[in-house]
Chain A
């Protein structure tokens, strides 16, 4: 792996920050002040679901319990996403300081990082980093000299299951169970890890908090748009000259992004990973943000030579493997959708059946128990709709036009 630290540019996440600064700031401000700045910032969860972070922390802070937890969701399993990897390896100060601020605000004594098993190679460095924080009184007892503020962080590994990124499946896994999503409600903010109030936050969300506490909510919201405040990290991969992590303000269009990463002859852009949607050329003027396309930031670029049925098949195979199998719409549905893709590939389909599968996809979107099954039909539906000309009309039989 390439591990020279690149100097990255960005207005918010990649702006200047010195380890410990936001923790030290807690000496001057109260937990209500933190909540106020967060509300002012308009920050929404960066893990994909986009729930307002101030609300989540307010609810966890208000819940009554002798124990509370803040969990950093470092499961990053969505295909095409690697921004959390970059934050954890190159900017651990943002992630961990954000967790300390979270502990302070919601009243947790323990923070847990759920680190995907695929990232085990980071573990030694991260543990060392935490030890240094302990030495410098940024973790432990009376942190930064704040009387009675005791908080520590531990890291627990995942073991290769995409669904464990879903917050209730993650908690199941932390408790030593199969990573099967729970029914919600109750929500983790009331009944989370070991039954205690728990805030699960994405790596990037916590990194944003670190800056907001120090620089203020209004500083944050000057970037982005009215409904999508601040900036976002995008993980860009696929057919472009400059793949990597980019910090861009919300409101950026797909074309602007493509230009930045020097993509040529682009035919399709998958936004949001396998569970996201696939856009064709006519849609490149659409904007990234909660007003239009909300996303956790995975951007995969496909050039004119790519076979969209091959792409779709790869996504559907992913979901068939990663479905936890708990509920029927997702377990059976994804298998049926994959079979449909294979039929198209072989040229053994009827339009009637493919339309039935699209309807099945819509049923899965509403009837599945967790976000995996609710979002897995997105690429099926969007690829077949947005690339129908190439897939169905230019093909000669099953060869998909090639």
Chain B
């Protein structure tokens, strides 16, 4: 990472810490902000968070690895999470998943070559009455068909 990039990331994290407070209890909100902006929390970001909250970097890493919505490895610019839990599974998750994979040319668990989209499965999204459902970043889409899902993802920048 370039020095200038590092500095700006540090500045960004400092602002987040200012907003949420320099306490351990601010760890989740700070990590969530970094995740939202960058789609993952880099090693450098982890060190900066640790320094600013006065905890050990290993603690920060261990928290990130616990939560499925926090990543320590780079992801695409957009994260797609298709619900894999029972009701969505029964109502067509599989054909939606296959259509998305065909269209994007990558499998679930992977990122498109242009870094546009990372595909993941998620557990119950709480949309069981309107399945199949998926999240694109923090937006939720329901009653998906293969065609509708692909159309939505084609519009993602």
Give A95 to B142 CA distance when docked, in angstroms. 25
Give A121 to B31 CA distance when docked, in angstroms. 18
Asked whether, in the complex, the Cβ of A321 is within 8 Å of the Cβ of B29, the reply is no
Query: Which range holds the interface residue count of chain A?
Result: 35 or more
- The one of B28, B68, B84, B124 in contact with A173, judged by C-beta atoms closer than 8 angstroms, is B28
Complex interface: stretch among A71-79, A184-192, A333-341: A71-79
Task: Scan B103-132; emit 1 where CB is below 8 A from any A CB, else 0.
Answer: 000000000000000000011111111110
Give A239 to B32 CA distance when docked, in angstroms. 36
| Chain A neighbourhood of B37, CB < 8 A | none
Asked whether, in the complex, the Cβ of A157 is within 8 Å of the Cβ of B140, the reply is no
* Residue A2 is within 8 A (CB to CB) of chain B in the complex: yes
Asked whether, in the complex, the Cβ of B87 is within 8 Å of the Cβ of A237, the reply is yes
- The one of A78, A117, A161, A236 in contact with B66, judged by C-beta atoms closer than 8 angstroms, is A161
Give A358 to B70 CA distance when docked, in angstroms. 35
- The one of A2, A158, A159, A238 in contact with B87, judged by C-beta atoms closer than 8 angstroms, is A238
A79 in contact with B86 given A2-B130, A116-B126, A160-B122 (CB within 8 Å): yes
Tell me how many residue pairs across A and B have CB atoms closer than 8 Å.
134
A79 in contact with B123 given A176-B63, A178-B66 (CB within 8 Å): yes
| Chain A neighbourhood of B142, CB < 8 A | 1-2
Interface size on B, residues (CB 8 A): 41
User: Which residues of A from 78 to 98 have beta carbons under 8 Å from B?
Assistant: 78-82, 84-85
* Residue A300 is within 8 A (CB to CB) of chain B in the complex: yes
Give A311 to B125 CA distance when docked, in angstroms. 17
Give A244 to B90 CA distance when docked, in angstroms. 16
User: Which residues of B from 56 to 106 have beta carbons under 8 Å from A?
Assistant: 62-63, 66-70, 84-87, 89-90
Give A244 to B130 CA distance when docked, in angstroms. 9
- The one of B31, B87, B90, B135 in contact with A118, judged by C-beta atoms closer than 8 angstroms, is B135
Give A79 to B85 CA distance when docked, in angstroms. 7
A176 in contact with B26 given A2-B142, A157-B32, A159-B69 (CB within 8 Å): yes
- The one of A121, A180, A194 in contact with B139, judged by C-beta atoms closer than 8 angstroms, is A121
Most buried by A among B26, B32, B128: B128
Asked whether, in the complex, the Cβ of A1 is within 8 Å of the Cβ of B123, the reply is no
- The one of B24, B63, B123, B138 in contact with A162, judged by C-beta atoms closer than 8 angstroms, is B123
A85 in contact with B26 given A1-B141, A238-B87 (CB within 8 Å): no
Chain A nearest CB: distance from B106 CB in Å?
A: 21
Chain A nearest CB: distance from B135 CB in Å?
A: 7
* Residue B1 is within 8 A (CB to CB) of chain A in the complex: no
Task: Scan A1-36; emit 1 where CB is below 8 A from any B CB, else 0.
Answer: 110000000000000000000000000000000000
Asked whether, in the complex, the Cβ of A314 is within 8 Å of the Cβ of B28, the reply is no
| Chain A neighbourhood of B24, CB < 8 A | 175-177
Main secondary structure of the interface of A (DSSP, over half): mixed
User: Which residues of A from 126 to 177 have beta carbons under 8 Å from B?
Assistant: 156-162, 173-177
A1 in contact with B130 given A157-B29, A173-B28, A176-B27 (CB within 8 Å): yes
Give A302 to B23 CA distance when docked, in angstroms. 48
- Minimum CB distance partner of B67 in chain A: A159
Give A169 to B130 CA distance when docked, in angstroms. 29
Asked whether, in the complex, the Cβ of A160 is within 8 Å of the Cβ of B68, the reply is yes
| Chain A neighbourhood of B123, CB < 8 A | 77, 79, 160, 162, 318, 321-322
A-B contacts, 14 of them at CB < 8 A, read: A82-B128, A85-B126, A117-B67, A159-B28, A159-B31, A159-B67, A160-B70, A161-B66, A161-B67, A173-B28, A274-B86, A306-B90, A314-B89, A321-B123
Known: A1-B127, A76-B126, A300-B87; 6 extra A-B contacts, CB below 8 A, are: A79-B86, A80-B124, A81-B124, A160-B69, A175-B25, A302-B90
Return the 9 tightest CB-CB contacts between A and B, nearest first. A176-B27, A237-B128, A160-B69, A159-B67, A160-B68, A178-B66, A159-B69, A243-B129, A120-B138
Chain B interface (Cβ < 8 Å from any Cβ of A) = 23-29, 31-32, 35, 53, 62-63, 66-70, 84-87, 89-90, 122-131, 135, 138-143
